[in-house]
Structure 1
């Protein structure tokens, strides 16, 4: 009598499982890091020199139009003709872009980039946007990055994570210097124009009701200044040299608060990145401490900051991404 050919479902080989369990995930490169650590610089360096790619901004302040200096958008010149998506494209008056909306829109953009045989680079410091985009299952009512919650390590893309980091003391010093440079290149005038055109002060909007671009560091800190000294077109002609001591004190306090809040933002971002790493995300840390030290001290005995950056950050990144894309 012939042996039965009935298949026991318990012992069915795994090769007979539905094909959907073996779908090939799109490859993407994710560049993470605290504010000011050089994520945009690294993405453009990689895209222009080594890998055909396009960049998807994941900084939730930089998605909006306006306040380019205040939100530290990479300039058109610095982009070097690399396509950037969601960078200064949205009008904040139309409402705040949520992580769930970013998940949907960025996914469509990734699919489009991949269809054209290019590599999507996700670049930005808003870890809530990055998390919402990458995980297989996302619940917008659950803050996985809260200290008391757990993160998912089940991702819907094949990800290569680059984490640009620095020692906190050096990063804090560099961020303070960067704030000073932002004001030297027109941040005060940019804020002045924003407040002159905004209805915000008329209704004394407080921090609870802030949304979108109004959350950007620089606006809350200077709200008191522009409430007491309304922005006027003549302001740029008088200059700060004619200010009285009280007015200068209000200005300097606002700048001090910006520096402190920028440091706190960086510290919080690093904390969330470490939470993702501890939760199973394979983050490759790149130490940019020497680069920032070179930027501030110029004591590298013939090596400028760019050569330090290339040796400590860019070259290791190229090796990591190249190996990832060739797998």
Structure 2
């Protein structure tokens, strides 16, 4: 007999793009009388099912889906605070129908902020409608937002990379809506964590440690596939997107953009919102060349190949960022909240064994979770689970302000917002090349200093100026009058 979902339970399904999260969510929903909440920022937009990789109506198999295709193309993606507000409202509606809410999506900072009541996403609710501050600056250029943030909250302004629009925007939004600095809210949050009572939540099997307080008991199912399996799968998906009509969606976006530019008198900002979705920005130049028909077939095919390769690379990079977020931020937050026993990794590397390695284990632990039974040790599900369920590092940088050290490379001009970014930069080819060039210049100067003869033979700046002036005079005298 399928257990009835306790009213305050939630199942969250996470993982990199292309791992089968949506399919698993539908299977769990059908077995346990659930409804699904979208947690993917790009899938909030109306239309564009190919570019945003939305689940099709047929694939939903009758399961209600929420927060899917609910905002217009002209809108920015929701801030994390707005997503949390909307998602909590939907969760309450689902529970009012005695159904199980199931969150699924790849925007993991949305998921993480929804699961914990102490998350910074809750800040606007303290004074959401104060009406004192003008929020229009949040739609302006990133430089202007950063300048304002530097004025009102220099600690947070110095925390972020100057091109990290989402984080800069969010920090200023918190101040404008609450009247409190985001850095101050972080400090208050850490104090709460330090004094949090050591009691767990139902179904967690573990006490709360220092960390965020969970909003409600949550079962986390992480569908995972290693890079050597996932990357070819993602590359193939890009080719399928082309076959399914990717270029027609690029055309519709271009048409929308040109219409908007003409009606508003100003160009659409393509640095954010739907315009940064993977697939549009990579193919827009090829599509324009295809429509204009002004270049040869050979050059056109080169553009097409470059667009495909760029889209495939961007998709692989996105999947890698998602996995890094889970292992560095999400696992630390979950474990710090006493949810180690509620977090399960499912091996989705072999699609031919999906039922055996993903569906059946997920069904079993969900059944235990909803029945309020003790859950098995997540590390025992598979070898890959025992390896990947260990956080990549034992802290979340956002909770360690003493490690917030933005640095600028004097040689390259590169800005590193974290110690890890700095270490990656100093190991990069660009930086090593710059160091080598500087050493070569220093060695050359030292050699000249040690060899007085070379100094006498090499013209000084003053002698070069005199010679150039003399040559100019000769040129003027010899030129026809």
Do the two structures share a fold, i.e. TM-score over 0.5?
yes
The answer to whether the 8 A contact 2:45-2:68 is kept is yes
Shift of the alpha carbon at 1:218? 0.9
Q: Specify whether residues 310 and 243 from structure 1 end up closer, same or farther in structure 2 by C-alpha distance, changes over 3 A only.
A: farther
Q: CA deviation digits over 1:111-161, x for unaligned, max 9?
A: 1111211100000000111122111122259899x9xx9994421121000
Shift of the alpha carbon at 1:219? 1.5
| Matched residue SS, 1:198 | helix
The answer to whether the 8 A contact 2:7-2:98 is kept is no
Query: Which ranges of 4 or more aligned residues in structure 1 deviate by more than 3 Å?
Result: 140-144, 149-153, 200-206, 226-231
Aligned match of 1:258 in 296, 311, 321?
311
Aligned CA RMSD, in angstroms, stands at 2.8
Shift of the alpha carbon at 1:210? 2.4
Q: Residues of 2 paired with 1:250 and 1:286: CA distance?
A: 39
2:221 paired with 1:162: yes
2:195 paired with 1:136: no
Shift of the alpha carbon at 1:228? 3.9
Aligned match of 1:289 in 336, 342, 349?
349
Q: Residues of 1 paired with 2:95 and 2:285: CA distance?
A: 47
- Structure-2 residue corresponding to 1:34: 16
Aligned match of 1:97 in 75, 78, 89?
78
Shift of the alpha carbon at 1:184? 1.2
Shift of the alpha carbon at 1:201? 8.4
Shift of the alpha carbon at 1:249? 0.9
Q: CA deviation digits over 1:60-86, x for unaligned, max 9?
A: 000110211111100001101100001
Shift of the alpha carbon at 1:278? 3.3
Q: Residues of 1 paired with 2:232 and 2:22: CA distance?
A: 20
Shift of the alpha carbon at 1:205? 5.5
- Structure-1 residue corresponding to 2:274: 213
The answer to whether the 8 A contact 1:195-1:226 is kept is no
Q: Residues of 1 paired with 2:290 and 2:56: CA distance?
A: 30
Q: Residues of 2 paired with 1:59 and 1:52: CA distance?
A: 22
- Structure-1 residue corresponding to 2:134: none
Q: Residues of 2 paired with 1:106 and 1:156: CA distance?
A: 13
The answer to whether the 8 A contact 2:84-2:113 is kept is yes
TM-score when normalising by structure 2? 0.53
The answer to whether the 8 A contact 1:201-1:227 is kept is no
Q: CA deviation digits over 1:263-313, x for unaligned, max 9?
A: 00000000111121134153210010111xxxxxxxxxxxxx2xx111110
2:365 paired with 1:320: yes
The answer to whether the 8 A contact 1:25-1:158 is kept is no
2:355 paired with 1:310: yes
Higher mean Cα deviation, 190-199 or 77-86? Answer: 190-199
The answer to whether the 8 A contact 1:55-1:84 is kept is yes
The answer to whether the 8 A contact 2:41-2:77 is kept is no
What 5-or-longer segments of structure 1 have no aligned partner? 1-23, 236-241, 292-304
Q: Residues of 2 paired with 1:243 and 1:101: CA distance?
A: 48
Q: Specify whether residues 274 and 191 from structure 1 end up closer, same or farther in structure 2 by C-alpha distance, changes over 3 A only.
A: same
- Structure-2 residue corresponding to 1:54: 35
What 5-or-longer segments of structure 2 have no aligned partner? 1-5, 124-155, 161-166, 168-185, 191-209, 373-481
The answer to whether the 8 A contact 2:94-2:100 is kept is yes
Q: Specify whether residues 205 and 108 from structure 1 end up closer, same or farther in structure 2 by C-alpha distance, changes over 3 A only.
A: closer
- Please list, as runs of the form range in 1=range in 2, the aligned pairs for 1:1-327 lying within 5 A after superposition: 26-48=8-30, 50-140=31-121, 152-199=211-258, 209-230=270-291, 244-275=297-328, 276-279=330-333, 280=335, 281-282=339-340, 283-291=343-351, 305=352, 308-327=353-372
| Matched residue SS, 1:71 | coil
Shift of the alpha carbon at 1:87? 0.9
Q: Residues of 2 paired with 1:45 and 1:212: CA distance?
A: 31
Q: Residues of 1 paired with 2:242 and 2:73: CA distance?
A: 23
Q: Residues of 2 paired with 1:182 and 1:251: CA distance?
A: 14
Q: Which protein is richer in helix relative to its size?
A: 2
Q: Residues of 1 paired with 2:7 and 2:111: CA distance?
A: 17
TM-score when normalising by structure 1? 0.77
Shift of the alpha carbon at 1:224? 2.4
- Structure-2 residue corresponding to 1:296: none
